[in-house]
A = this chain, B = another copy of it.
Amino acid sequence: MIGKCECGECQPTLCVYRVPIFSTLSEDELGRVSSLAVREYFARGEIIFMEGQRPGRMMVINSGRVKTFRYTQDGKEQILNIFSCGDFVGEMTLLGDEAVTYNAEALDDVGICTIRREDFQAVVRDHPDILLKVTEELCARLAKMETMVQSLGSKDVDSRVVTMLLEFANKYGRAHAEGRLVDLPLSREGMGNYIGVARETISRKLHSLQDQGAIRLVGTKQLLILDENLLL
C-alpha cells in the first residue's frame, strides 16, 4: 500500500498513483496531486465530453475503458482510440484552455480522476519531469495514429481487420491453452467504426478467418487466436 487517495472511493493503488506520467513524483507529491483530484463516474454509454467543449480539466482514467471518436463527413463514428486505466484524455487541456478535438464515451462503467488545469499546470511547474513523460506518451500516441493511418490507407480490408485484432490481442489478450484469448472491447459495429468498414463486413471477415482456422469466435465478445501466422 503506497498511500491513501483523498478522492475517497478509489483503490489506494489506483487513481493518480499508478499513472505513468506521474511515475517520477515522490510520495509526498503524489499525495498532493491526489488531493487535487476529483473523482467522477460515468455509466457505460455515457458521453464524457464532446468535440469543441473546454472541460478545463486533465482526466486520468481509473477504471473502465473509454473510446474517443469523431464523426466522419458521411455521419459515421470514426473511433480514434480506446483508453483504459492509467491513460489520460483531453491532452489539449495541458497547455491552455483549448477545446478538445474529439468525443469521449464510456465503454464500461468508468471512474475518472479529474484535475483542474491550473492545478495540473502548477504541479508541472514544480516537476518538469512530468513533461518528459507526457512527451513520451504523446510520441507513442503519434506512432499509434501513424499506424492507424497506414492501416486505413490500405485498400486491403483483410489486413486492416488483422491489424485491429493484433492490437486487441496485445492489449486485451491473455494466454490460453490453444492460443491467445482476446476480450473484444467493441461490438461488430464498433470494430467497423474503428477500421472504417461496415459492421457486416467485420462479421464476414471474422467468420472467414475462422474458416481458415486462424481464429475461433467465442461467443460474441471474445475470440481465440489459434495461429497468429495464419493471420499474416
Contact = CB atoms under 8 A, between A and B. Distances in A.
A228 interface: no
Contact of A138 (B135, B148, B151): B135
B139 A131 contact: no
A83 interface: no
A132 interface: yes
B136 A95 contact: yes
Contacts of A128: 128, 131
Given A78-B150, A148-B149, A139 B73 contact: no
Contacts of A139: 91-92, 94-95, 138
Contacts of A71: 150
A187 interface: no
Contacts of A102: 146
Nearest to A125: B128
Contact of A74 (B70, B156, B193): B156
Contact of A146 (B74, B80, B95, B193): B80
Interface string A129-173: 001101110110111011011111111100100010000000000
A32 interface: no
A146 to B, nearest CB: 5
Interface string A77-104: 0101000000000011011000001100
A159 B146 CA distance: 21
Interface of A: 70-74, 76, 78, 80, 91-92, 94-95, 101-102, 128, 131-132, 134-136, 138-139, 141-143, 145-146, 148-156, 159, 163, 193, 195-196
Given A94-B139, A138-B138, 18 more contacts: A70-B146, A72-B151, A72-B154, A73-B151, A73-B159, A74-B155, A78-B150, A78-B154, A80-B150, A92-B139, A131-B132, A138-B139, A138-B142, A148-B149, A149-B152, A152-B153, A153-B196, A155-B196
